[in-house]
Structure 1
Amino acid sequence: MICGGSASGYHYDVASCNGCKAYFRRYIISERNLKCKGNEDCFDLTKREKPIKCRPCRYKKCLEVGMNPLALEVDEKEAEAKNFKKVTKRIKEEEIEKIDVVDDNSKQIMLRKVESAGERMQKITDMLTYLESRLEQFRLSAYNPHWSEVQGLDCILRSSNRISLADKYGPMPGWPLTTEQTHPIMSSVKPSGIKGPPPHSKDKKHWLYFNLMATVEYAKTFMFFHKMNARDQFILTKYVTLACMNLHVSFESVSRKFEVRVNPDGEKQLYKNEEYYSNSVMSVVPLIRYKVESIEYMLLKAICLCNPGQFPMNLSFVSTEKPFSAVPDLSEHGQLLLATERQHYADTLFDHCLRNRENGPSHFTDLIGIIDVLERQQRIQKDLHLLYIAPLVAKAPKENVIQIIEDIMDS
């Protein structure tokens, strides 16, 4: 939103690249007071394709598009910087003006509050829409690393985000395939032996491996995730990745008019055993039944990321004294972060349901109920893996083991 380049995520509340993120931080905690030598429109992308190199105009554009200085983590010295104090003071003064309006005209402030809530909801949905488009672009891309390059969950968490590699590699030719082009992959429940994954091909993806990796990269784009320590990040992703992945693949399949889960190359996993086939479509059925819209899906997945599992079905399920957490072993700091973010997205989803659904509250309850379905589905998947696959993996050569699958299934 600043330089027109590829955004690596939302930084300080704005979709931006790492360069603009770092520049905003450097400038705002400095004493600089630079002035443009041109017409103060060097970063106006309506007048040119690429911005002109101009530091003050870049900083001005950061502020114009809504980069939030209050989202920065600063120490006492940095908080005393002239630019930081100037901008934060202006923000606080604007808040005071809004409060003054309340005292003078209660009707007007009620209107302002509605507009403010609408603006916040729009900002969140814009962020998630952008992120989903980038994530699906990543899944459709020709980027297809061998599993030996990704040495487990910890390796992905410590490395830079891979989603932007979709721009470098471009799309995989011919994807996504149409309904007529899909090809079922029949699977038995009990494997007779394990010779390792199929041979790696640059034109064929191992979808469980790639989808799990993509979902972890999705988690890494959220600002709250980077406020968690490394241990909490590892624990959370082990717990939530499979559920988020199931929801993503199921929604993409339903949006393409499929009734089973289908990957971009047309591969759909079918089971000979009816019981396990039912488990594979468990997350598809409620999406069709409740006619889940794109915005509802995106908000639901964000809630899943912020700790799926059971929580009270209302908008006041966060307690600052004892934050609820369904994920075991998280630190208190991690629990509080998740609880706050979860309520943030749940409030937005509830507001969306009230505005856009005739049966808003009950539809919200139905949507939240899908989280329980996802929880049960991933529990069954992990139990099956533990029962049938893990003993064989233990005997397999190390080069035949896809470590990220083992890390996530073993939880």
Structure 2
Amino acid sequence: MHDTTTTAAETSAETRSKSNVSYDCSHVLDNNSLSALHHDDDEDQVHRTANQVAASFSKQKLKQEALKKFVPGEACVVCGDAASGIHYSVSSCNGCKTFFRRVLIENRTYSCKGDGNCPIDKDMRCSCRHCRFKKCLQVGMDGTELNIERRRKRKIVDTPKSETSINEIQDDVVRDLVLKERKCLKLLTSTLAPIHASIDEALSDPISTFDHFEQYERHQLAPEDQMNFSYWRAKILSTVIEWAKSFPEFQLQKLSRRDRESLIVHSSFSNLVLSEAFHTPERFTDRIVFPDGLSGFRNLTANILKERSGLIPTVVAVINNILVPIRKMRMTEVEYVLLQAIIFFDRECISLSDECIKIVHAKRKQLLDSLRRHLDSLYPKNESAHRFAALLLRISNVHKVAAFKRETLCTIETFNLMSPHPLTMEISKKYPDVSFF
């Protein structure tokens, strides 16, 4: 059985003597890059990294490959099985086509326990995924076609859920929240929208990015931009803070600087995990998907990158305890935005001043009234009451998952397993000082 290793995607050329031959599958290599492979008899393992990407193929070669015609009866150049057509510029079977695509799309990395030269044929192709991917590269499989698929997937990811028409919303509170949500989605994918280094920095400017939305909206991530989990945690938390600053109640002079910080520390991780679940495209119930297509899977074997490994339990917790339940109940956009605001304006934060508690309590009551009126307008009385209760009961699980995520991040940093973003860690570490669970 061949183990997987977890390495970050690299584009720089380097050769290291280690025990396993590792492949960075986030880039496709040409045949010249294969010369970087070597075997050191003095070491049990060999580390292999890419030194060129698929862009090194000339345009002329790509055109020639695109014009290649499939001849029925040809063998798969990877494993020798019957080829089903020209896939990624070579004759290949459906199995090898799917394998190659999955490795690249999911940024998988494998290692070989042998010398990196396992036989790959029809019978042995599944025995070593490292050597199978190596063979795919050797025979000329070209992943540039995946750029088209990535753009298409990006469009699918960016396609919003069934959105409520703003003009149909009668409740001013709900309309304001839905408008904030539309801005939030654009700010998440804006390359100009800030990722704050600290809570202090975030609160130093009382004006929210939501108030100058247009200047950020114009600068969006390109389809080929690929971020990591640390980036998205910090980006979502930063956007949650800007979202909070856009509420008039949050900017009242009666609220002290301490009150504002306490509200952010108390609730923002709950807002984070609910956002991760709700914004995952509807067709997925086994993974969390971020705006650039980056995914964290419930299937442990799919989470093979080093950055994912330590946080796999938190991904599973978000999926099982938040994503799956809200999918079963078919949570709507209006319900989601109201629930996010109800979660944020929580008087149970023990470090709030008396004046702040009054303001937060009044705001939450307003939000609860809006949720109840919204449900009453859509459902019979008994059904409305049942759904109202079901939505509020989700909050407990959201808080539990948020607490688990904070604790996991603190543990990971303590043992130096990875380096989460400073803002993420500041919020995690300050939580015990301002609240409890």
Q: Give 2:201's aligned amino acid.
A: C
Are residues 1:204 and 2:242 paired?
A: no
1:258 match: 284
Tell me if structure 2 keeps the 8 A contact 1:142–1:203: no
2:318 match: 280
2:332 match: 293
Name the CA shift for 1:203/1:377 in 2 (closer, same or farther; >3 Å). closer
Tell me if structure 2 keeps the 8 A contact 1:143–1:166: no
Are residues 1:353 and 2:375 paired?
A: yes
State the SS of the aligned residue for 2:209.
coil
Are residues 1:305 and 2:344 paired?
A: yes
Give the Cα separation in 2 of the matches to 1:120 and 1:267.
33
1:226 match: 251
Q: Give 1:172's aligned amino acid.
A: Q
Tell me whether 333-342 or 155-164 shows the greater mean CA deviation. Answer: 155-164
Shift in Å at residue 164 of structure 1?
Answer: 5.3
Name the CA shift for 1:390/1:342 in 2 (closer, same or farther; >3 Å). farther
Tell me if structure 2 keeps the 8 A contact 1:354–1:360: yes
Tell me if structure 2 keeps the 8 A contact 1:386–1:409: yes
Q: Give 1:204's aligned amino acid.
A: M
- What CA RMSD, in Å, does the superposition of the two structures yield over aligned residues? 2.6
Residue-pair matches, total: 242
> Which of the residues 188, 201, 204 maps onto 1:158?
204
Give the Cα separation in 2 of the matches to 1:277 and 1:204.
17
Q: Give 1:384's aligned amino acid.
A: T
Shift in Å at residue 142 of structure 1?
Answer: 2.3
Query: Residues 189-210 of structure 1: CA distance to partner in whole angstroms, max 9, x if unpaired?
Result: xxxxxxxxxxxxx863611111
**Larger RCO, structure (CA 8 Å, separation 6 or more):** 1
Give the Cα separation in 1 of the matches to 2:197 and 2:262.
17
1:141 match: 190
Give the Cα separation in 2 of the matches to 1:276 and 1:220.
28
State the SS of the aligned residue for 2:385.
helix
1:318 match: none
The TM-score with structure 2 as length reference comes to 0.51
Are residues 1:172 and 2:220 paired?
A: yes
> Which of the residues 391, 403, 413 maps onto 1:367?
391
Query: Residues 314-358 of structure 1: CA distance to partner in whole angstroms, max 9, x if unpaired?
Result: xxxxxxxxxxx3211110011111111111100110111122123
Give the Cα separation in 1 of the matches to 2:259 and 2:414.
25
Q: Give 1:127's aligned amino acid.
A: D
2:275 match: 248
1:180 match: none
- 1:93-112 pair list within 5 angstroms: none
Tell me, which stretches of 5 or more residues in structure 1 are unaligned?
1-118, 178-201, 308-324
1:192 match: none
Name the CA shift for 1:247/1:280 in 2 (closer, same or farther; >3 Å). closer
Query: Residues 245-277 of structure 1: CA distance to partner in whole angstroms, max 9, x if unpaired?
Result: 2212321214x4332321110011236287544
State the SS of the aligned residue for 2:322.
coil
Q: Give 2:416's aligned amino acid.
A: L
Are residues 1:268 and 2:295 paired?
A: yes
Q: Give 1:253's aligned amino acid.
A: T
Shift in Å at residue 289 of structure 1?
Answer: 1.4
1:131 match: 180
Give the Cα separation in 1 of the matches to 2:211 and 2:189.
12
Are residues 1:342 and 2:364 paired?
A: yes
Shift in Å at residue 162 of structure 1?
Answer: 2.6
1:193 match: none
Name the CA shift for 1:134/1:144 in 2 (closer, same or farther; >3 Å). closer
State the SS of the aligned residue for 1:266.
coil
Give the Cα separation in 2 of the matches to 1:369 and 1:128.
21
The TM-score with structure 1 as length reference comes to 0.54
Runs of 4+ in structure 1 displaced over 3 angstroms? 163-166, 202-205, 273-277
State the SS of the aligned residue for 2:330.
coil
- 1:20-99 pair list within 5 angstroms: none
Q: Give 2:174's aligned amino acid.
A: T
Tell me if structure 2 keeps the 8 A contact 1:247–1:283: yes
Query: Between the two proteins, what is the percent identity of the paired residues?
Result: 18
Give the Cα separation in 1 of the matches to 2:313 and 2:227.
28
Query: Residues 336-394 of structure 1: CA distance to partner in whole angstroms, max 9, x if unpaired?
Result: 1111111110011011112212300010000001111111111111121222323538x
Tell me if structure 2 keeps the 8 A contact 1:253–1:261: yes
- 1:111-126 pair list within 5 angstroms: 122-126=171-175
Give the Cα separation in 1 of the matches to 2:212 and 2:288.
25
State the SS of the aligned residue for 1:392.
coil
State the SS of the aligned residue for 1:261.
strand
Give the Cα separation in 2 of the matches to 1:172 and 1:266.
14
